[in-house]
Amino acid sequence: MDKVTRLDGMEYYINPYQIECIEINPDTTLVMLSGKHYIIREGVKVLLNEIEAYHRRISPYIVQE
């Protein structure tokens, strides 16, 4: 699970496997498989780095390039 911050300052934990797509308009918007939209403070690069770190934590045996 990755921690994200909504624009109102409330923190949430999201499952990165449930993200359908990420929109930038101009805020970062997560579109979930359920159809819900979350507008978050974190930028796309930060979010993608957190998702990558999450995958490394749960799959330590993946060979890193």
CB atoms within 10 A of CB 22: 14
15-63 per-position pLDDT tens digit: 999 999 999 989 999 999 999 999 999 999 999 999 988 888 888 666 6
- Cα 14 from Cα 17, distance rounded (Å): 9
Alpha helices, DSSP H, located in 1-65: 44-58
Report the pLDDT averaged over residues 3-20: 94
Q: What's the whole-model pTM score? A: 0.81
Q: Hey, what's the torsion of the CAs at 43, 45, 51, 55, to 10 degrees?
A: -170
The upper half-sphere exposure of residue 24, i.e. CA atoms within 13 Å in the direction of its Cβ, equals: 5
